[in-house]
Structure 1
Amino acid sequence: MIVAENLGKKFRNKTVIRQMNCSIKEGSIYGLVGANGAGKSTFLRMLAGVYQPSEGKAEINGEAVFDNAKIKKEIVFIPDELYFFPNYNFRMMADYYASLYEHFDHHRFQMLCDHFKLDTRARIQNFSKGMKRQGALILALSTRAHYFFFDETFDGLDPVMRSLVKSVLSEDVAQRNSTVLLTSHNLRELEDLCDHMGLLVEGRIMFESDIDSLKTEMFKVQIALPNKNFDRDEFRQLKVLYYKKSGSIATMIVKGDRELVTDVLRSKQPIILDLLPLSLEEVFIYEMEGYGYEFDSLRL
């Protein structure tokens, strides 16, 4: 299990990560969403042992990651800004990775190259941005490591390649029980891939949940009651995040158990009652408004 406890990171006088707490289960795909500058890359670098925490701890299976060679052999970190050795072709880069990871799988490397249609003899400097991103993912998955940390995973990939990458990552988690942490500023890129998701704001995870709970424990309600003069106070038993009434119909965003909420609403003998699902983006919008943030300012 990956655990961050009261984790903090400062660069001179600037605090980038502050009192972060997070746990990521084995065999899961965890998506961390946040605006540019929220601290996603810094967080990944601490989990990968590149940066030493200024405070708190970052641990994998109960061991601190920084300066821990044993743990680092089980980690692959692919940063947002990719680096390959100048003048190396893709096969030479694979050989370099094999020198670092004892379980590097050359057969899988070739299979993935064929799958993604990448020429192993081609010089990487001649690859497009999307091809370089594909190449980094192929190298990472060929290591047979257990923990994968990918920063802005889908940057530069076209929709077909994004779908292919998601399929390969899901298969790896299912077959090997590996653990994947993905970051993105784009929520839509991650919502159909991740088991759990967290929102990083100003260096702190504001909230996190499994995807199923996020989608099923918050929904839109449209309701009309026999007494047309009802107001928000009529629903004080419920956790109402948003309320607006137009004419005789009220629209609400309600958080809670769907069956219990439905029972409460039906007890009021409504003339109209509809419970509608929300997209994951809508869920994040209303969650953040509950914390007093303007979602537009987060630029997700």
Structure 2
Amino acid sequence: MIEVKHLTKRFGAITALDDISFQVDSGSIFGLVGSNGAGKSTFLRTAAGVYRPDAGSVLIDGGEPFENLSVKGNVCFISDYPYFPRAATLTDMEDLFSHTYPHWDKERFHYLCSCFPLDTKQRILNMSKGMQRQAAILCALGARPTHLLLDEIFDGLDPVMRQLLKRILSGEVSDRGMTVVIASHNLRELEDICDHVGLFHRGGVIFDRELDSLKLGISRVQAMFRPMPDRSAFDSFDLVTLRTQGSLVDFVARGTQEDILAKLSAMNPVFSELLPLTLEEVFISEMEAAGYDIDNILS
């Protein structure tokens, strides 16, 4: 379990994480989404023990990771730009990790090497971006961590490798109860694999929620009215966004589908339909509500 309690991290005058609190349950796959510079990478580095918090704490199974080898031995972090020694091969990394991580599994590592099309004798820095990311994944999974922290892990992977990675991660969670946190802008990939998601913006957490309940708790409505009611008629909805054009209205609202449909029916629309949102549409709607949208950016 990862417990985040009033966590704050600053870099000079910049507050990257501002008094955030949430929890990642053991054996879950938690997706971190948010705007650029929202603090996702800073959080992962703090959870991995790379950064010391300025206030509050992040606990991995009850222990603080910073300068704590007993915690770090159970945590693997793959950054958005994985680091490898200049001349290192996968064979060299196997030797390094086997002496660093207490639960290193040689058989598991070699099995995974057989799944990914990598030459274990080739210098990793001579590999493509996607292959370097695969090498980092092999090393991390060979360490058998209880907690795996991934930053933009799908970047550079081809569709086959992305599916392979999702299948392996799901198996590790199912078989060993490993906890996975993935920060990514690839919301389509997160939607496939995550069971919980947290939305970061400007160093804060707008929400953290189970993915299914999040998508069921917010819907998009398209309707036609003749005549068009006043804008105040929509105040009964818990609106995230609302747009009107002539006799058409398009809005996103929170609440159960039954409640939204009942309120909509009472307004006697000529036509209406309710659409469940994808994770990307939820993200865009919530960010618009937070003032981060195309119109504001371009204005």
TM-score, length of structure 2 as denominator length? 0.91
Evaluate the alpha carbon distance shift between residue 122 and residue 65 of structure 1 in structure 2; reply closer, same or farther with a 3 A threshold.
same
Aligned to 1:86: 86
CA shift at 1:65, angstroms?
1.9
Separation (CA, whole Å) in 2 of partners of 1:87 and 1:162: 27
Separation (CA, whole Å) in 1 of partners of 2:266 and 2:97: 64
CA contact (8 A) 1:288 1:295 kept: no
- Residues 1-300 of structure 1 correspond to what in structure 2 (within 5 A)? 1-224=1-224, 228-294=227-293
Write out per-residue CA displacement over residues 170-210 of structure 1, whole angstroms, 9 at most, x where no aligned residue: 11111111001111233334222211112222222222222
Evaluate the alpha carbon distance shift between residue 252 and residue 87 of structure 1 in structure 2; reply closer, same or farther with a 3 A threshold.
closer
CA shift at 1:232, angstroms?
2.9
Deviates more, 1:194-203 or 1:50-59: 194-203
Separation (CA, whole Å) in 1 of partners of 2:248 and 2:217: 22
Evaluate the alpha carbon distance shift between residue 296 and residue 46 of structure 1 in structure 2; reply closer, same or farther with a 3 A threshold.
farther
Which one-letter code corresponds to 1:198 in the other structure?
Answer: G
Separation (CA, whole Å) in 2 of partners of 1:250 and 1:15: 39
RMSD: 2.1
CA shift at 1:100, angstroms?
1.4
CA contact (8 A) 1:232 1:243 kept: no
Deviates more, 1:173-182 or 1:117-126: 117-126
Separation (CA, whole Å) in 1 of partners of 2:250 and 2:262: 17
Separation (CA, whole Å) in 2 of partners of 1:171 and 1:297: 42
Which one-letter code corresponds to 1:129 in the other structure?
Answer: K
Evaluate the alpha carbon distance shift between residue 229 and residue 127 of structure 1 in structure 2; reply closer, same or farther with a 3 A threshold.
closer
Structure 1: 5+ residue runs without aligned partners?
A: none
Separation (CA, whole Å) in 2 of partners of 1:3 and 1:107: 32
Separation (CA, whole Å) in 2 of partners of 1:296 and 1:186: 22
TM-score, length of structure 1 as denominator length? 0.91
Write out per-residue CA displacement over residues 100-133 of structure 1, whole angstroms, 9 at most, x where no aligned residue: 1222111111111111122222232332221111
Evaluate the alpha carbon distance shift between residue 296 and residue 153 of structure 1 in structure 2; reply closer, same or farther with a 3 A threshold.
farther
Evaluate the alpha carbon distance shift between residue 233 and residue 125 of structure 1 in structure 2; reply closer, same or farther with a 3 A threshold.
closer
Deviates more, 1:266-275 or 1:18-27: 266-275
Write out per-residue CA displacement over residues 257-289 of structure 1, whole angstroms, 9 at most, x where no aligned residue: 111222232344443221112222221122122
Which one-letter code corresponds to 1:171 in the other structure?
Answer: G
Partner-residue secondary structure (3-state), 2:264 = helix
Separation (CA, whole Å) in 2 of partners of 1:156 and 1:237: 45
Deviates more, 1:157-166 or 1:52-61: 157-166
Which one-letter code corresponds to 2:159 in the other structure?
Answer: P
CA shift at 1:297, angstroms?
7.2
Identical-pair percentage: 44
CA contact (8 A) 1:218 1:283 kept: yes
Partner-residue secondary structure (3-state), 1:66 = coil
Separation (CA, whole Å) in 2 of partners of 1:83 and 1:246: 51
Partner-residue secondary structure (3-state), 1:31 = strand
Write out per-residue CA displacement over residues 87-107 of structure 1, whole angstroms, 9 at most, x where no aligned residue: 232112112111112221111
Write out per-residue CA displacement over residues 234-271 of structure 1, whole angstroms, 9 at most, x where no aligned residue: 23322122233334343222210111222232344443
Write out per-residue CA displacement over residues 43-95 of structure 1, whole angstroms, 9 at most, x where no aligned residue: 11111111110111111222222222211111011112222223232112112
CA contact (8 A) 2:113 2:138 kept: yes
Q: How many residues align?
A: 297
CA shift at 1:148, angstroms?
0.4
